[in-house]
Amino acid sequence: MRILHKTILLGLVLLFIINCSKDDALVPTPTSQEPQNVAPQIENQEFTISESITEGTSIGTIIAKDTDEDVLTYSIIINDNELFDLSPEGALSLATTKEINYDIAQAHTITVSVSDGTTTTSATITINVTNVANVYLVGSLNGKGIVLKDGEDITPSILENESNTIVDLSVQGNDIYVISTETLYKNNTAINIINNISNVSFLSDMHIIGEDVYICGNEKISGTSIARVWRNGNPINLSNGNNEAYALSVFVEGTDVYVAGFADSSSSMNNTAVVWKNGTITELTDGSSSSMANAVYVRNGDVYVAGYDTTGGGGAQVALWKNNTKINLSNGNHSIANDIYVTEDNDIYTCGYETIGQVLHPKVWRNNEETNLASSIGGEILAATKVSVFEDDVYVLGRAINPQTNMKESTIWKNGEATYMGNLKIRSLFIK
């Protein structure tokens, strides 16, 4: 009996051990898990650069985040005309041999990717461009045409053989337009405008809108000076040939073409200041005395004309007309206005000269406030001939006595500070 009990007990123990072994086989053995990769995060970003930036200059660093703290690698997926370089570390710069031009594009957009070695994400990067004043001058040196940009000689080779007087220039994008008294130059291409050049046939001024080039001047036909405007080389007569007429300045706003100059008065033989709008003439004085319109500028539909008027006697006196109504700038002295510029804030800048006693003063008027730029010494003919405004800076071109050489020289004033041009004879300036 005792042996039987032991046998049963032993069997129960063995059964328990076997069952436990089976249960243990059902429990999985713990294993280590691979952590899941988290993609790097990058947001759209903006940078601002000046158009004067030079190749290789740093623009900034692209910023991305990675939760796993992996090493990130950056690259450009979509570039803008290959303008930009990006290092693997995210340093953005202007590419070698590249330059930025505000007049061509005010912003550039690229697409940048960032990778942690497993996952790649991307973002849009915008590079905004700020404008910087570029001062272009045109004239002659030793009888040959010359074009300067911020003091650097950028003269198209074709101008080196131009013997006629250089008159005006304009810069549109990367294209340089220059007119002499008879020819239009676009970069190194010459387009003859006047075939029979003479002392009464010449080009005077130029204005460019989009692809259209407007030039004004006059051409002697059958013994009479005809005022003309050329659109892309095609002449349009402003006068009918019954009286002498001269076109001196052109301005285009929208589809309207304005030209200022002078013509024989319809009521007398006096030179009379006139302005043409799309070929229709308006006399700015009654013709009882001589007057002349030397420049026209249009801002928001308002037409400004600068010149002189001799009404009331006492010789020429500076004249400014707004929408055909005269605004008095004269203090009674002999004075003439040669050019005009109107800002977006409707400040009117007029330049010319005034004679006080025997001394000539190149000067600029801001609205009714006048500023003398220089003074003659021995009665030399000095004047301010061109004026332009860029942001808060006022640029004036003229002639003055260089105190270092005691010689009369072409002079550029920026906010009243003079830069003397030595042997350069500067005829026009263009700021952009």
Confidence grade of residue 281 (pLDDT, cut at 50, 70, 90)? very high
Which residues in 243-281 are b (16+ Cβ under 10 Å) and which e? ebbbbbbbbbbeeebbbbbbbbbeeeebbbbbbbeeeeb
pLDDT tens digits for 104-120? 899 999 999 999 999 99
pLDDT at 5 over 80: no
Q: What is the pLDDT of residues 377-391, one digit of tens each?
A: 655 678 999 999 998
Over residues 342-385, the pLDDT tens digits come to 999 999 999 999 988 778 889 999 999 999 998 776 556 789 99
Q: Kind and range of the H or E element at 339?
A: strand 335-342
DSSP 223: T
Burial of 226 (0-12, 13-18, 19+ CB in 10 A): buried
Helix and strand counts by DSSP (H, E) for the chain: 1, 37
- Reply yes or no on whether the pLDDT at 25 is more than 50: no
pLDDT at 398 over 70: yes
Q: What is the mean pLDDT of residues 211-222?
A: 92
Q: pLDDT of 167-192, one tens digit each? A: 999 999 889 999 998 899 999 999 88
Q: For 307-347, what is each residue's pLDDT tens digit? A: 999 987 768 999 999 999 999 898 888 999 999 999 999 99
Contact 429, 136 (CB under 8 A): yes
For the segment 282-303, what is each residue's pLDDT rounded down to a tens digit?
999 988 889 999 999 999 999 9
Residue ranges of alpha helices (H) inside 160-242 are none
pTM for the model stands at: 0.80
pLDDT of 28 over the 60 cut: no
State how far the Cα of 128 lies from the Cα of 50, in Å rounded to an integer. 8
Domain ranges of the chain: 41-130, 135-431
pLDDT of residue 9: 39
Neighbours of 388 (CB within 10 A): 20
- pLDDT for the residue numbered 184: 95
In this structure, whether the domain defined by 135-431 belongs to CATH 2.120.10.30 is answered with: yes
Q: How confident is the model at residue 269 (pLDDT cuts 50, 70, 90)?
A: confident
Amino acid 155: pLDDT:
93
306 vs 327: CA distance, rounded Å: 10
∠ Cα 117 121 125 (to 5°): 125
Among 395, 373, 320, residue whose Cα is nearest residue 350: 320
Residue among 335, 354, 228 nearest 279 (CA) = 228
Residues in the chain: 432
Residue 77 pLDDT:
97
Report pLDDT for 21: 46
Quickly state the pLDDT bin for 20 (edges 50, 70, 90): very low
Which CATH number is 41-130's, of 1.10.10.10, 1.20.1260.10, 2.60.40.60, 2.60.40.10? Answer: 2.60.40.60
